[in-house]
Amino acid sequence: MNDWSPRTRAIAAGRPAGAGKPLNTPIVPASTFYAGGDHTYAREEGTPTWTALEEAVGALEGGKATSFASGVGAVAAVLDLFPAGAQVAVPTFSYAGTRGLLDHAAEMGRLKVRRIDPADTAAWAVAAEEADLLWIESPTNPTLELIDIAPLVGHRARVVVDNTFATPLGQQPLSQGADIVVHSATKLIGGHSDLLLGITVTADDALAEELVHARTRTGATPGALEAWLALRGLRTLPVRFAEQSKSAALLAERLAEHPAVTKVAYPGLGTMIAFELPDAEAAAKVCESLELIVHATSLGGVESLIERRAMWPGDAHVPAGLLRFSVGLEDPEDLWRDLRNALG
């Protein structure tokens, strides 16, 4: 398994083995199991369907995976490991749901939160020495800024990386020394906009056990169907990611040349583009004028989605004319025609 490429692991990891076994892990809708085996009560040790998904994601990220009801459920479980008064550093522009959880914890007096500009490497270095937890997104949602992980590990703070945008195909933070990787499998891992699911992965066995306990405590357990769908989605992640990234690179290049577009952020890898129009009105008009690209929130599916992020209260500080564009699996020339028409 270890010398297989990620593309092969995505296909073969977590697959049942043995004569007469089904090729695909069954959907096991069970809350409890006969006593004396690996599983007792589903909220405690999970179900065979979760286990198969966890084995596959763990094989890609290089650690032990734990699945949760949603990405935010996984984020909350990680934060649950830190004691009252812990200091957390988070990028100024980063996933609004994570910042919402952190702001709430700060308001309730549980955590101390510092927001740091992703580009301020000096401030991140200071936080690595002073804080208890660095919450890293790279690329960030929705501005697609990058944070260099390697210089931030091995200091006082634990390092958690939300790897939703890069996926394990783009980067494996555990191999760079990060303590925990978090995924919203709702996005690229699932890949079909048909489920909610979150995952944590860590190479530290004690930490992995703590995360399972956090799931048991908080009850943020995935559904049997969702875990099965996420594993089914994961099987094609490498080809989807490669193809959608290729289209994203092409479209980012064309957007950068378009006179109506004032700025394009595309870090060179991945399926997401952030681009700006002069103001909220111009950006909203593009969303309304598209025919093929769907005006909707979320990302990472086979269908292209676009939205103006600043319309959400949690992202009100994002540039008003910024559009977050999730590039799907459609023909990129059809996507470009749609964009060009909408840009006018």
Under 8 Å between Cβ of 286 and 307:
no
Under 8 Å between Cβ of 75 and 101:
yes
Residue among 39 and 215 whose Cβ is closer to ligand PLP? 215
- Shortest CB 89 distance to ligand PLP, Å: 16
Residue among 167 and 186 whose Cβ is closer to ligand PLP? 186
Residues 99, 158, 187, 215: which is the catalytic one? 187
- Shortest CB 335 distance to ligand PLP, Å: 21
Residue among 76 and 343 whose Cβ is closer to ligand PLP? 76
Which tokens in the block code for residue 264?
A: 């394009």
Determine the Cα–Cα distance for residues 221 and 45; give it in Å rounded to an integer: 10
**187 is annotated as an active-site residue:** yes
Alpha helices in 108-145 (DSSP H): 121-130
Residues 64, 95, 99, 315: which is the catalytic one? 95
Residue among 98 and 244 whose Cβ is closer to ligand PLP? 98
- Shortest CB 148 distance to ligand PLP, Å: 18
R_g (Cα) of the chain, nearest Å: 20
Question: How does 127-149 read in b/e, with b if 16+ C-beta sit within 10 Å?
Answer: bbeebbbbbbbbbbbbbbbbbeb
- Shortest CB 143 distance to ligand PLP, Å: 12
Determine the Cα–Cα distance for residues 338 and 132; give it in Å rounded to an integer: 46
- Using CB positions, name the residue nearest to ligand PLP: 71
**162 is annotated as an active-site residue:** yes
| Phi, psi of 110, rounded to the nearest 5 degrees | -90, -40
Residue among 162 and 276 whose Cβ is closer to ligand PLP? 162
Residues 162, 179, 315, 338: which is the catalytic one? 162
- Shortest CB 80 distance to ligand PLP, Å: 15
Chain contacts with ligand PLP (rule: CB under 6 A): 70-72, 95, 97-98, 137, 141, 162, 164, 184, 186-187, 196, 198
**7 is annotated as an active-site residue:** no
Determine the Cα–Cα distance for residues 67 and 184; give it in Å rounded to an integer: 10
Q: Write down the residue that tokens 């589903």 correspond to.
A: 42
Catalytically active residues, by annotation = 43, 95, 162, 187
